[in-house]
Structure 1
Amino acid sequence: MKKFITRIVAASSLLFAAQQLSAQKVVINREVDSQKDGKMLLGHQSKGQFLKAPYADWYVKEHDEYALDQKAISELKKERIGSYDIIVFMGTWCEDSHRDFPRLMKILEEVSYPDSKLTIIAVNRKKESPSGDEGLYNIQKVPTIILKRYTKEVGRIVEMPTSGYIERDMVEILKKNDSSVIKEIFK
């Protein structure tokens, strides 16, 4: 009887774990068609989606024409930007996202930032995504670029960089965070 109950509990646990894993699947590269905005990306996206029509029209132009601040790029490399996670909330309907998202991607390419540490989430005009991630990060405006280290948010750029350059704002975030992360670890 004891073995029977143990087997039932084990089987139930496996079934529950399998259900949890399947429930956590994230749909990537969702595209919707809205009456007001036409085609729009929604939810988690891969970089490749922005090279497809109609998004490539604004993405490629801004990406290719943006002149990087090489001093800030060197600082990002020195500050090991690759050790941070970056989450970007953007809207394919948003002019600020049309400007700053391609610029961010060019910066990340220049510093050889690992794709595995980048999360791109497209939202609708209400700043909502299918996964509800915007609620976890209190997203009010797009684009919002969030830098995290050791699962803790260390800074964000909201709507537009204060310095006028995303890479300069990122350097400031990393420099401010440098000692605070060490203090947090040894608390």
Structure 2
Amino acid sequence: MKHIFALLLTFYMATASAQEFNQEIELENGQKLLVGKINLDGLRSEPYNQWFQNGLDLYEVDNTLVPLFENALKGHHIQLFLGTWCGDSRREVPRIIKILEMAQFPMDQLEIIALDRRQDHYKRSPTGEEKGLNIIKVPTLIFFKDGKEVNRIVESPLESLEEDMAQILLKKSYTPNYAY
């Protein structure tokens, strides 16, 4: 009996502490949004997969630049803030994911956070991952090394995603759009 109780307690603790991914809300107009921590499965689900898969299929990664930063990239943790309702996010996020996949980035080092668009929750997530990070535009791609922010790409790249990532990861001078 003790073993069953211990097993049930362990199961309860594991499920209670498990992170919920791909939380979906529906607006009054019927539009659905993802909010909070999400993963690629969420982006590959209806209705988000329409723009996500299309963006992946159409984007051609600059294969000459990715090898320049591929190794440096693996030493970083990345947070990607987006809005599944946002045109810029719908354009840039599939491109970002395709570049990370091309660079063989360990996806467990990528944290994707979908922000809300409702007036009382605008550009916030249910669990507050954006707090203290000055997220003013989406998408925002933040590179961290040893727990410290290295730099970010805000809303859209200055040159191209590959060029901007190379500048950041190779420690060149880079000032993102909407620098704070």
Taking structure 1 as the reference length, the TM-score comes to 0.78
Residues 1:141 and 2:125 are matched in the alignment: no
Residues 1:176 and 2:168 are matched in the alignment: no
Residues 1:38 and 2:38 are matched in the alignment: no
Q: Show the counterpart of 1:158.
A: 154
Residues 1:113 and 2:108 are matched in the alignment: no
Report the alpha carbon displacement of residue 68 of structure 1 after superposing the two structures with TM.
0.8
Report the alpha carbon displacement of residue 23 of structure 1 after superposing the two structures with TM.
8.3
Q: Show the counterpart of 1:99.
A: 91
| SS of equivalent to 2:170 | helix
Structure 1 Cα separation of the partners of residues 45 and 19 of structure 2:
21
Greater helix content:
1
Taking structure 2 as the reference length, the TM-score comes to 0.81
Query: What is the count of residue pairs matched by the alignment?
Result: 157
Report the alpha carbon displacement of residue 27 of structure 1 after superposing the two structures with TM.
2.1
Give RMSD over aligned pairs.
2.1
Report the alpha carbon displacement of residue 136 of structure 1 after superposing the two structures with TM.
2.5
- Unaligned 5+ segments in structure 1 are 1-18, 178-187
Tell me, yes or no, if the aligned pair for 2:69 and 2:170 is still in contact at 8 Å. no
Report the alpha carbon displacement of residue 24 of structure 1 after superposing the two structures with TM.
6.4
Tell me, yes or no, if the aligned pair for 1:28 and 1:46 is still in contact at 8 Å. yes
Q: Give runs of ≥4 in structure 1 deviating > 6 Å.
A: 21-24
Q: Show the counterpart of 2:162.
A: 167
| SS of equivalent to 1:89 | strand
Structure 1 Cα separation of the partners of residues 133 and 51 of structure 2:
27
Report the alpha carbon displacement of residue 43 of structure 1 after superposing the two structures with TM.
0.3
- Unaligned 5+ segments in structure 2 are 1-12, 173-180
